[in-house]
Structures are given as C-alpha cells and as structure tokens.
Amino acid sequence: MARSVALAVDLGASGGRVVSGTFDGRLLELEEIHRFENAPVAFGGQLVWDLVRLWQEVTTGLRMAAARHGGSVSSVGVDTWGVDFSFLAADGTLLTNPVCYRDARTRGMLAAAEQTVSRADMFAATGLQFMEINSLFQLLAMQKSGSSVLGAADRILMIPDIVHWLLSGIPSNERTNASTSQCFDPQKGDWAFPMLDRFGLPKQIFGAIVEPGTDLGLLRPEVAAETGLSGVRVIVPGTHDTASAVAAVPAQEPPSARPDWCYVSLGTWALVGAELDRPLVTEACRAKNFTNEGGIGGTTRLLKNVCGLWLVQQCRAAWQRAGKEWSWDQLTQLAAEAPPLLTLVDPNDPSLVAPADMPEAIRALALATGQPVPESTAAVVRTALESVAAAIAHTLDELDGLLGRRIGRVHVVGGGVKNRMLCQMIADATDRPVLAGPVEATAIGNLLVQLLSRDGSVDLRRVREVVRDTFEITSFEPKDASRWKARLAAAKA
C-alpha cells in the first residue's frame, strides 16, 4: 500500500505545532515539523489572540512539511482549545481577532444569564458544565455592551473553524468544538435554538454542523501556492483537542451506555470522563458539574475538568525564578523520596488558580486545612502529585455514580503519561489498572481521523486498532490501594 501523509495543526493556548503522520495502512509514524509559542495579547482594551501571527506560523509549518514530504501530503486538519470564536461578515470578511476566554468581559455574566434562563434550563438545553468562559457568556457580554460586531456578524466560527476557513475558503461549524460553547444541544445534535431565542441572540449566525471526517475541499489556490502543497485537501478532524485525544485512546470496546473503561487526558488539566453512545443530561449530572461534549463518530464525552500538572508546572516556574533549575525528572525523583500521603489539597481550589508563588500557596492551603505543611521541595511536589491523583479518584467515583456501575479500567493519554510516578498513583488512588499511552494522543487522533475517514464518517474501532498496533502502552496495577483508600476516607471525614 502507498504511504499516505497527513498534517495535524495542533493549536493550544500556550503553543502550537504542525505534526506529520505517515501511514502505511497499519502503522502511523509521527514527526513534529514546526513548533511555536502562543499567548493572548492586550489589544484595544481586550485580551485577544494574535490570529495573524498564528496564521503565519501555520503556513510556515505547512511550507516546512511540503519541503519534508513533497507531493506525499494528502490532507491537513486543525484542532484547538474550545469556547473562543470570531465572526464572518456577509461579504466573507473576518470581523475581529478572537477575544481570549481569559478576558474580563464575562465576569458576572453567568449570574446575569440566570435572570433570563435558569441554570436547570440551560443545562437541559446544552448538557454543559457552567463556566463563565463559555461561548454563550461571551456572546451575552457582547450583547450587553451593545457590540456592533455582533450586529454585523453573518456567521460565527470557533477557532479551528477560522483556520479551516483560512485554509479552504469554506466556513464550517464542527460538532466537537461547537459542543463546548454552551450554545449546542447534544441530544438534538444541533444548536440550542430555543434557548438562544430566549436570550435574544441572533440565531442566523449559527451555521450547519459538520462532523469529524468532513472534507472541505482543496486548499485555497493562494495557500497552495504559498506553501507548496498541491492537491492537498482540508479534512476536519475532531477539532476540539480533547475530542482528538480521546479518539486515540487504545480501548477495544465500542462506545456504549455502560462502558467498562474511562479516560484521563492528562496534561496541564486532567479531563476525566467516559465515552458514551448518547448524552447523559440529568439532574445528577448537573449537580456534579459534569459536561456532555461531542466526540468522534457521534459519541459523547461525559467528563469533568480536574487541575492536573499545572501545580507542578507552576512550582517549577517559581523555583526557576528563585534560581533553582530543577528538571522534571529531578522533581519526580525528589518526590519519590518524600514520605507518602501526608498532605492532600484540592488542586481546583481557587487559591491555586494563578498564585504568585505556587509552593507557598500549597503550603498556605495545607495550613488552612489543618494538615502537615510540606516545607521541602520534595514534599511540595509529592503533595501536588498525590493531590491530583486523589482528585482524579474522587471524580472517577462520581462518574461511577452517574453511570450506575464501577468502571473497570483507566486509560491515561497525553503528556502526563511521561510521569510514571503519577500514573502509579492514579492506579493506587482509584484501585484500578491504568493503561498509559499514547503521549501524543491529540495529534494522533487528529491525523487518523483524516487518514481513515470515508465520506464524512469515522470508524473509531479502526482508529484505535492503529493506535494499539503502533504505540507502546504501559500498564500500572494497583500496589498500595489499601493505604490510599484509608487516606482518602480520612480526608472525607
């Protein structure tokens, strides 16, 4: 079989990259072509994404891919974070730089929205967890301010939709990213128009939903000429990065209403959830603040966000500012030498969101909760890692309750797979086997949807078969579950 090459444009809030995937019909070979930084910038009184620079970086990566792979490249697709957006005017003009979800415009908008539509009704319409950063509250903030942009808009495009439009000239709204907006009804598979009407939002800006695997056609002629990529098609993957990552979970079972496995997409955040064949929009789900987001092949990702390696990342940054250059491996080795399970903090505590000094914030939270204060570097890192594992275990117990059964296995994917100590902690804290890998799950899911989609549909079993054949998966069995069980019970008491 001829080797096919696809390109994944993977954009995150702190950086992006272009990754190639070479597929021989059985195995997938990855190569990072270009990596670049990303950050919001203050511009005109708002915090916005520098879309022009991002586009320049994307086209640079595509030119490098053309030089590396020549005429072998068959397609390109984009995945990004969720919730942020911009608009096209009726004449096809992009109206604004996308405003970053961290901009202050949404403060207080959730409470304001509840004056028009109750939380219960919003959740019934969208099945989504409540965060003020969600697209709905960004739109309501624009409405409240009398934004002329909202009045001039003809079509809303999420971030990956914008890049796909820049690549192909075709505007689209892909389901997995649309599902993060709190404007989408996961049960109908379309925008939540009755709720949008109640808010008085212009429903004509919400276009037809497309599925992962949709072919938008060839690159614009000017993009093909600029990059040297001829005959390359733009194929929409799961454009929300977590949707692509979950597609690369090497599970063997198909999606079902009663899965026996869950996933943890582990990086700066830990997204803990199950893949279902239908949404779970219940009062219990709303009470636990779980969310229903779109997945590949018509699936639903029922999940909850837990703060992940952010704690350790920010501790390392604080120590670097103090002149202590610890590597990741050194920090993990130090943590391994510290006494276990002395202190557990809530990694989602507001005091840990963006402290000036993360180690001191962890110590302060330990003191405030009457626990031993981790003074040494080793103790701080141990506390951070064990706290993340404990939070994942608690979230998994909640997920068991929502599904009405105990899930048997935990698949961990993403960059956190590299931390073997944390993977073992998750196995012990949850008292379940952990299957860790692949690390590059987001890029893999993006690439395989492009390479294996047929007529806009994707066979998840085939995608995951390639993942299992290609990438190493490491197993972690519970070793210290009884001590963890006792410690977690004491924490609840």
- Same domain as 265, residue 204: no
Instruction: Dig out the tokens for 53 from the structure.
Output: 């620079």
| pLDDT for residue 175 | 98
- Same domain as 425, residue 276: yes
Q: What are the tens digits of pLDDT across the range 368-380? A: 999 999 999 999 9
Give the residue from 268, 226, 248 showing the smallest Cα distance to 66.
226
Looking at the predicted structure, is the pLDDT value of residue 287 above 60?
Answer: yes
| pLDDT for residue 397 | 97
Residue 220, Cβ density class (10 Å: 0-12 exposed, 13-18 middle, ≥19 buried): middle
The last residue of a domain, from among 235, 268, 300: 235
Q: What are the tens digits of pLDDT across the range 305-323? A: 999 999 999 999 999 999 9
| Structural domain includes residue 458 | no
Looking at the predicted structure, is the pLDDT value of residue 66 above 70?
Answer: yes
| Structural domain includes residue 127 | yes
Q: Are 177 and 11 in contact (CB under 8 A)?
A: no
Domain with residue 261: its CATH number is 3.30.420.40
Share of the chain above pLDDT 90, in %: 94
Stretch 344-373: mean pLDDT: 95
Looking at the predicted structure, is the pLDDT value of residue 353 above 90?
Answer: no
| Structural domain includes residue 446 | no
144 vs 204: CA distance, rounded Å: 19
282 vs 68: CA distance, rounded Å: 50
Provide the domain limits for residue 26. 4-235
What band does 102 get if pLDDT is binned at 50, 70 and 90? confident
- Same domain as 358, residue 222: no
- Same domain as 249, residue 137: no
- Same domain as 249, residue 212: no
Q: How much is the mean pLDDT over the chain? A: 96
| pLDDT for residue 1 | 53
| pLDDT for residue 456 | 81
| Structural domain includes residue 21 | yes
Q: What are the tens digits of pLDDT across the range 137-151? A: 999 999 999 999 999
Looking at the predicted structure, is the pLDDT value of residue 327 above 80?
Answer: yes
User: Which residues belong to the active site?
Assistant: 241
pTM score, whole prediction: 0.94
| pLDDT for residue 224 | 98
| pLDDT for residue 461 | 94
The last residue of a domain, from among 235, 251, 276: 235
Q: What are the tens digits of pLDDT across the range 390-432? A: 999 999 999 999 999 999 999 999 999 999 999 999 999 999 9
The helix/strand count (H/E) of the chain reads as 19, 21
What band does 295 get if pLDDT is binned at 50, 70 and 90? very high
Residues contacting 147, CB < 8 A, separation 6+: none
Stretch 6-27: mean pLDDT: 95
149-188: burial string, b at 16+ Cβ within 10 Å, e else? ebeebbbbbbbbbbbbbbbbbbbbbbbbbbbbbbbbbbee
The torsion of the CA quartet 254, 255, 259, 261, rounded to 10 degrees, works out to 70
Number of structural domains the chain divides into: 2
Looking at the predicted structure, is the pLDDT value of residue 493 above 90?
Answer: no
Stretch 457-463: mean pLDDT: 94
- Same domain as 372, residue 226: no
Instruction: Dig out the tokens for 90 from the structure.
Output: 């009726």
273 vs 83: CA distance, rounded Å: 19
- Same domain as 168, residue 145: yes
